[in-house]
Amino acid sequence: MLILNALLFSIALIYFFKKISKKYSTFWATISTIEIALLPLYHLMSKNPGNAYSYMPLLLFFLTYLYFNSIQSVTAFVGLGVFAGIIINFHPLIFIVFIPIALLLAILAKKKVNLLFFLIGIIITYMPLLIFELRHDFVVLKKTIYDYNNSLLTSVNSPDSVWGDNFISRYLSSDNVVGDLVLFNPVIYLFIFLSPFIRRLKIKHLNLLKYDIFSEKIRFVKSLKNEYPLKLRLFIFCSLVSFSLYVLTARGDIGPHYVFPFAFFMFFALVMFILNSNLKFLAIIIIILEVMKFNTNLYKNSIRPKEKFEKAVNYVIDNNLVNKNDAFNVIQAIDNVPAGHEYRFFFRAKGYSPKTINEYNISNKLFIFSENKDYKIESMSNWETGQFGQEYLKNYKTFQAGDIIVYLVDKNL
């Protein structure tokens, strides 16, 4: 998974490089690709495979293709829709990124009806889920709505919320989530994008005694249109809108990783802005900041190396605590991930087949692995132990396997 994830992120960078080198130059292709590759957010996600991270190269593919290609054919709209749908399937909230993008496509499309094919492409990717929902009384949708509403209610009543009660304070506070990952506070992005207007808005444009303000404004707007193409202006606008929609919708309360696609969209628009404006100085500053923020911790040895889990499993097998025919299951004494996939992997590698995470109720043996030597399994209470039988936790045997404590609960004892 790590290798595949890194490969996807690398291929996306190669595609990004080739597209820029065709339109601009090898120099700018190199600089821009370095900006993306060293971006703390992109770097972090490339090292962490999973549904909260692995969509990023797909999003880079999507934005690059959309920016450098003319999208007019039905096939292109359907293809982009399918690609967008795959990205959205990683996390539902990513859908908000594509709301302003749909507007962008509608503006660029010569045939506005083609936007329907973009939506059809997205719907195609959701057909398996739709069929499942129809057969199961929309259980996923109901649970999603419940969790979302519950998170908002919790955040509103929480005294520890750092987002405040209004849009402005939440927008400004978003730096607490993304500031280190995309280098700047979102307000700085807004300021940079507006800098051409600020630079060109001179006193003469406001001097009513010497100038016709109406005609001056027309010339001012026309000069901006000539300097900044429509697609770039749309990308900048859509990236800011998508981030604002995120702030309005998420309120920063449903996990900081949800902001990643919106923050990256702004950074992508910034890179395109720098390219179009030939801002070498700003590009160099960004790379310097990225080097200064480079996360070397991602390359340190894991604080939970695989050897300790393998050693614990080997101990169980070598001491005949389990047979291949036993109906056994696994729990690790960690609240948020009790399924113990670390241990399951090594059991399977040795030819043993623990029951699945949905089969605790038909398991006769339960191995509880704890990295805390003082852990009291009698106090453990979760769905997994409830399925196995909470009453059986009173009778257990304890074993020491390196740094891991192994508790064996056997229904037949």
Residue 252 clears pLDDT 90, i.e. is over it: no
Grade residue 119 by pLDDT with cuts at 50, 70 and 90. Answer: very high
Distance of CA 209 to the CA centre of its chain: 54
User: Quick check: 230 and 109 in contact, CB under 8 A?
Assistant: no
Is-contact 364 328, C-beta < 8 A? yes
> What is the rounded distance in angstroms from the CA atom of residue 249 to the CA atom of residue 149?
11
- What lies within 8 Å, CB to CB, of 170 at 6+ separation is 163, 164, 247, 251, 252
Closest CA to 121 of 94, 86, 92: 86
3-state secondary structure of 403: coil
Cβ neighbors of 344 (< 8 A, separation 6 or more) are 330, 354
Residue pair 382/338 in contact by the 8 Å Cβ criterion: yes
For residue 214, the surrounding DSSP H or E stretch is helix 213-227
SS3 label, residue 253: coil
Position 369 pLDDT exceeds 80: yes
Least confident segment among 171-185, 218-232, 243-257: 218-232
Domain locations in the chain as residue ranges: 2-183+230-299, 306-410
Q: What is the pLDDT of residue 88?
A: 93
- What is the distance between the terminal CA atoms of the chain, rounded to a whole angstrom? 40
Q: Which residues pair with 332 in a beta bridge?
A: 369
* Residue 390 binned pLDDT confidence (cut-offs 50, 70, 90): confident
Of 133-147, 213-227, 339-353, the one with minimum mean pLDDT is 213-227
pLDDT at 181: 85
State yes or no: pLDDT of 156 exceeds 80: no
Given a contact cutoff of 8 angstroms between Cβ atoms, the answer to whether 278 and 27 are in contact is no
How far from the centroid of its chain's Cα atoms is residue 129's Cα?
Answer: 21
**Residue 84 and residue 58: Cα distance in Å, rounded?**
9
Name the amino acid, one letter, at 29: A
Check residue 319 and give its pLDDT. Answer: 93
Q: What is the pLDDT of residue 175?
A: 52
Coil, helix or strand at residue 76: helix
What integer pLDDT is reported at residue 411 of this predicted model? 87
Say which range, 253-257, 372-376, 400-404, has the weakest mean pLDDT: 253-257
Read off the pLDDT band of 265 (50, 70, 90): very high
Give the CA dihedral 339, 343, 349, 352, nearest 10 degrees: -70
Which of 6-15, 83-92, 156-165, 349-358 reaches the highest mean pLDDT?
6-15
Whole-angstrom CA distances from 158 to 146, 229, 235, 394 are 18, 45, 36, 37
